[in-house]
Structure 1
Amino acid sequence: MRRINVDGKFSLMDYCSAGPQFASGGYIADSRFIGTDAVVNGSQQQYMIRNSEIPGWSNGVWNQVFSGVKGAPATSFAATGPDGKPANPYTTLPTTPVSREKPYLYLDAAGEYQVFVPGVKTNSSGVSWGNGPESGGKTLPLSGFFIAHPGDKLTDINTALSAGRGVLFTPGVYDMDQTLLVNKPGTVLLSLGLANLTAQGGAVPLKVGDVSGVSIAGLTIDAGSINSPVLLQIGNPGGAGGSASDPVALHDVFFRIGGPGVGKATTSLIVNSNNTVLDHIWAWWADHGQDVGWTVNTADHGVIVNGDDVTATGLFVEHYQKEQLIWNGERGQVVLFQNEIPYDAPTQADWQHNGILGYAAYKVNDAATTHQGWGLGSYIFINSGADIHATHAFEGPVRSGVKLNSLLTLQLNYGLGVTDHVVNLTGPATIPPAGQKDGSTVISLKQFP
């Protein structure tokens, strides 16, 4: 949910159709909830809410993160409540370190369509529109956009991009047998209805050069049946792109490796540019769908960050076959990370490397001197029938500038699948208590190191 004003009771789970239902997690930004009733989180396992206003929050399951949210509860992660039971798993940042709201299409007073591109903010809280129209952004006329439809020639879209025009993707599936190249600063790629870019013939669907101010919003990018080296690349390898005052920003950009059919890609997202803002990313290696299997839809990594000063708010990365997230850049910041390791490794031998069982879900480069993360969760669930262990869920150098706050490991099915440590060799294994045969086992660590 973005830019929503809610007046009245609000629940994040369905309890109208058949009683309280399961819910798996989500994201809210730049929204206001009015009234005296708390937002009912209910069964949401993990949730991210950023730069919003709430009258309260009802409960938590495993990992609830609030960043720049007025009315948010205080941090209580890994704490014990007054009744002696674990308190709600809340992690609260009073302000969001770096943010940029998603561009949006609107009608002006004259009835003409425009696209508004918000500016970057640091250490902010609350909604952007609370005191009238947002300041600090820019308005672009729709005449400056190529209106794309499925079936359009990609050469025509690239011609528009090279001329400095933005692209408004109308709903549908776009077959990508060549790369869309964004090399003009300030270019906006805005999708209506989560338009889908599907790689064909091993192509890379989208690349952004070493330019500032690019916004990519509301796209789903699918791998095709022939392996693509990457699905989206921000900045050139070894380049010096990126601007703190006008960063590249990704909003609601989703990746799928399989699901609709066979999909293969080495990495879903590579970020080379400095100061990039990743605002709600979901990268998914399919654990269900059509033609899904360990050797069928293959993918090593979900996200690799090489740029410095990159900030991620809401990073969901699931099921990849090696490290899910690799962070090589300096001064990285991650506010909420959610992960599930691959479900279907056939044997331990198929999922290990260099004497380490499995792969880290979240790996900070050993050379990094500064990195911070808040609300970081990794879950293990094995359905292949094999007894699979992961040495650890998180991996990083032990130094004062590297701080991982509110870490969580979770075992979702007993008997198969154990995370032996939370981070490096710190923290106990996700092994159920004696006599407990179902449910889930949660291990939390307030801070590392």
Structure 2
Amino acid sequence: MRTRSRPRVTPLLALGGLLATLVTTAVSAPAAQAAALPDGWATVTAKHSGKCADAAAAGTADGTAVQQYACNGSTAQQWQFQATSDGYVRVNNRNDASKSWDVTDVSTADAAPVQLWSYSGGANQQWLPVEEAGGTYHFVNRNSGKCLDVPSASTADSTRLQQYTCNGSAAQSFGVDSTDIPPPAGTPDLGPNVTVFDPSMTKSAVQGKIDQVFGQQEENQFGPQRQALLFKPGSYDVDANVGFYTQVAGLGLSPDDVTINGAVHAEADWFQGNATQNFWRSAENLSVNPTGGTDRWAVSQAAPYRRMHVRGNLQLDDGGWSSGGFMADSKIDGQVRSGSQQQWLSRNSQWGSWTGSNWNMVFVGDVNAPANSFPNPPYTTVAQSPVTREKPFLYVDGAGAYKVFVPALRTNSQGTTWASGTPAGQSLPLDQFFVVKPGATAAAINAALAAGKDLLFTPGVYHLNQTLNVNRANTVVLGLGLAAVIPDNGITAMNVADVDGVKIAGLLIDAGTTNSQTLMQVGQPGATARHTGNPISLHDVFFRIGGAAVGKATQSLVVNSSDVIGDHMWLWRGDHGTGIGWNSNTADTGLVVNGTDVTMYGLFVEHYQKHQVIWNGNGGRTYFFQNEMPYDPPNQAAWTNGSTRGYDAYKVSPSVTTHQAWGLGSYCYFNVNPSVVAERAFEAPDNAGVRFRNMVTVSLGGTGTINHVINNTGGPSNSGSNVANLVAYP
């Protein structure tokens, strides 16, 4: 990801803690006093001050103060009441539902402060909600019999909540209000982080929820929150600004089944118009009538724009740089304006016209694509996509039943799957899926797979203490809302057997703190089966090493099976965030391909410490490749491959006799030590069957050198000549 500066550090609004101590009952208060509370997430508001109970500074660590603070809609002010026994509840925070209200030091004294602490079943972590006249509540601690209380009835922000002898005052009285929109009738349980909208809902209710989610996600680059906003067929007059870890999607079989009159857009206001860090979000399966005639999708990596119909124009930047988007199966009635987008892949889409270019714009199977003209302008155009399968998606049929549609395989295709009517494919009933919700264990997920279930991951972060084993042919694993899995204790997150037709879609695989040799494996080593008629496919599958926390993985993805389709993947060793450093978030290689006839569309691989991609299998094809070399080699000696300076961005092994690649870019930004040199970006055997078309290397700001584009040909890119282009090799 291209950036000259680090993100400004803007904590999610310091949130306030909230309420006062309440209650008036004792440790053994009878269950009869318990009152019904919202099933989902809710705010807790102090009656006397109108301020919200808040996890201070959006903290999730043990000991984080629970305070009152001006209500701001953030997840630090959202609470879940989970029943324990005898009418008591634990009160969990949405930022980390394992952390609950806790009276410090198991105290029974007046004025003992309330904090967040990992729930362990202690009586000091359990509260009895007692309903009052007017619908407010006081909360009585099970250990002390004392009430949640705002000290001295303060109205100030950041006043820490405490327990105090129950006295019936307004400082011990709290309103509880659900933050969730009640799901439409017939909606299945899709977990706490999915919101389903129905056209019968009021505009204010729908817009309010959209704004609430965007408010918490606009700058939330490395937070654990995940959201899916799903629209049932119909028309909506709303403006959906899409932040981090947010999926906005229609529930129709065609994108034209859901119409948004307004916008579905990604902006870069949070980063002063620079969209180079607008990652991890998606817009899917919607038609948009954009206000003013133009919508905006200013993004970089891991921000797919799929199955969209824009009845107007589409702008791909926000004034500053944008750096690497992906569009598929979409129709733009007007003009696509790429602006400052540095590179982009459009696949099987169409538009009225296209304007703009920068370094590497690639069009595969598109209608009205610009003519191939690399490097002036840098357009790479391939008339047809040789083999594709679109990403599976959730939809509601005409009878109101929720299903997952699996599009059919297409060969030598151009344009969208839906422009001529109902697309070809298969509908799977939702009861065929194990719906994975926050708190699900790896054992439960594996048991469902073993029982023949498909998987629907609802938005959340899932720690795995055992590898997920996908062994059955045609299994569908579909994630909503950028669902993330984290392998603990150095395991592999997912193994896919060498079988026909598995589809993995919409998952972020986040490396754990203990090194994993491999994060995901497709097919066992030495796999020999062919899957030409029903290949395994990976759609919007992203890998991350560091950024949210220290992460380590030697290899991110190893593909041993043949005929696999990769349909938009970003494999990223983090260059900013938490746990970043040459010796911290260690990672050798992003992608290793051993299978035959593997095809990749939209392959983004960045910052790994050795070869970024190693391709060992014959018959490989890549349509669009984007790479940044690691920013942080401390010196040349630390980043030398034998006698060769640096490592390749994309290496085709000497044994390979057939390979094709179109539209490839590799960039360096050696900001730790600008004297570092990469001898080349691409390496391939000198063989007529191995062909590279339209390559570019860039030294970002002249910070470092890529000496050659491919093998010993082309270049350099350095402080004197930032950009080097090469049309063909050999």
After TM superposition, give the deviation of residue 240 of structure 1 in Å. 2.1
After superposition, residues 371-382 of structure 1 pair within 5 angstroms as 371-382=659-670
Which of 482, 488, 495 is equivalent to 1:207? 495
Distance across 1 between alignment mates of 2:487 and 2:632: 24
Show the counterpart of 1:431: 718
Distance across 2 between alignment mates of 1:117 and 1:240: 26
After TM superposition, give the deviation of residue 56 of structure 1 in Å. 1.5
Which of 419, 437, 460 is equivalent to 1:172? 460
3-state SS of paired residue (2:337):
coil
Show the counterpart of 1:72: 369
2:327 is equivalent to residue 28 of structure 1: yes
Does the Cα contact within 8 Å between 2:317 and 2:338 map onto a contact in 1? Answer: yes
Show the counterpart of 1:443: 724
- One-letter code of the match for 1:296? S
Does the Cα contact within 8 Å between 2:505 and 2:538 map onto a contact in 1? Answer: yes
TM-score by length of 2: 0.58
Show the counterpart of 1:17: none
Which of 527, 534, 559 is equivalent to 1:271? 559
Which of 274, 292, 312 is equivalent to 1:8? 312
2:658 is equivalent to residue 370 of structure 1: yes
Which of 111, 115, 124 is equivalent to 2:400? 111
Deviations 1:171-220 (A, max 9, x none): 01000111000000000000110100011110111110111100010000
Does the Cα contact within 8 Å between 1:403 and 1:448 map onto a contact in 2? Answer: yes
3-state SS of paired residue (2:728):
strand
Does the Cα contact within 8 Å between 2:441 and 2:464 map onto a contact in 1? Answer: no
Show the counterpart of 2:135: none
2:353 is equivalent to residue 56 of structure 1: yes
Deviations 1:25-64 (A, max 9, x none): 10000000113xx201001100000001111111101000
Distance across 1 between alignment mates of 2:716 and 2:687: 23
Deviations 1:279-321 (A, max 9, x none): 0000000100112100001000000000001000000000000
After TM superposition, give the deviation of residue 66 of structure 1 in Å. 0.1
- One-letter code of the match for 1:98? V
After TM superposition, give the deviation of residue 356 of structure 1 in Å. 0.6
Show the counterpart of 1:387: 675
Does the Cα contact within 8 Å between 1:205 and 1:231 map onto a contact in 2? Answer: yes
Distance across 2 between alignment mates of 1:446 and 1:343: 26
Give the length in aligned residue pairs. 426
Distance across 1 between alignment mates of 2:454 and 2:715: 50
Distance across 2 between alignment mates of 1:287 and 1:278: 24
Deviations 1:369-388 (A, max 9, x none): 10000001000101113410
Distance across 2 between alignment mates of 1:204 and 1:249: 19
Does the Cα contact within 8 Å between 1:382 and 1:413 map onto a contact in 2? Answer: no
Does the Cα contact within 8 Å between 1:242 and 1:248 map onto a contact in 2? Answer: no
3-state SS of paired residue (1:61):
coil
After TM superposition, give the deviation of residue 260 of structure 1 in Å. 0.6
2:286 is equivalent to residue 286 of structure 1: no
After TM superposition, give the deviation of residue 2 of structure 1 in Å. 0.6
Does the Cα contact within 8 Å between 1:357 and 1:389 map onto a contact in 2? Answer: yes
Show the counterpart of 1:83: none
- One-letter code of the match for 1:5? H
Does the Cα contact within 8 Å between 1:341 and 1:379 map onto a contact in 2? Answer: yes
Does the Cα contact within 8 Å between 1:197 and 1:221 map onto a contact in 2? Answer: yes
2:339 is equivalent to residue 42 of structure 1: yes
Show the counterpart of 1:437: none
Distance across 1 between alignment mates of 2:674 and 2:623: 33
Does the Cα contact within 8 Å between 1:213 and 1:249 map onto a contact in 2? Answer: yes
3-state SS of paired residue (1:392):
strand
Which of 683, 706, 714 is equivalent to 1:419? 706
Show the counterpart of 1:349: 637
Unaligned runs of 5+ in 2: 1-304
- One-letter code of the match for 2:729? F
Show the counterpart of 2:586: 298
After TM superposition, give the deviation of residue 150 of structure 1 in Å. 2.0
Show the counterpart of 1:143: 431
Does the Cα contact within 8 Å between 2:343 and 2:358 map onto a contact in 1? Answer: yes
Show the counterpart of 2:414: 125
Distance across 2 between alignment mates of 1:224 and 1:240: 31
Moved over 6 A (4+): none
Distance across 1 between alignment mates of 2:640 and 2:352: 46
3-state SS of paired residue (2:637):
helix
Distance across 2 between alignment mates of 1:298 and 1:431: 26
After TM superposition, give the deviation of residue 242 of structure 1 in Å. 4.4
Does the Cα contact within 8 Å between 1:209 and 1:241 map onto a contact in 2? Answer: no
Does the Cα contact within 8 Å between 2:493 and 2:519 map onto a contact in 1? Answer: yes
Show the counterpart of 1:84: none
Deviations 1:57-114 (A, max 9, x none): 1110100000000000001102xxxxxxxx2100000001111100011001110011
3-state SS of paired residue (1:393):
strand
2:509 is equivalent to residue 221 of structure 1: yes
Distance across 1 between alignment mates of 2:560 and 2:658: 17
3-state SS of paired residue (1:160):
helix
Distance across 2 between alignment mates of 1:164 and 1:138: 17
After superposition, residues 399-410 of structure 1 pair within 5 angstroms as 399-410=687-698
Does the Cα contact within 8 Å between 1:258 and 1:285 map onto a contact in 2? Answer: yes
Show the counterpart of 2:32: none
Flag the structure with more relative contact order, 1 or 2, with Cα contacts below 8 A and sequence separation at least 6. Answer: 1
Distance across 1 between alignment mates of 2:313 and 2:498: 45
3-state SS of paired residue (1:159):
helix
Does the Cα contact within 8 Å between 1:242 and 1:276 map onto a contact in 2? Answer: no
- One-letter code of the match for 1:29? A
Distance across 2 between alignment mates of 1:25 and 1:283: 13
3-state SS of paired residue (2:710):
coil
- One-letter code of the match for 1:101? E
Show the counterpart of 2:391: 102
Does the Cα contact within 8 Å between 2:701 and 2:719 map onto a contact in 1? Answer: no
Distance across 1 between alignment mates of 2:671 and 2:719: 17
Does the Cα contact within 8 Å between 2:633 and 2:673 map onto a contact in 1? Answer: no
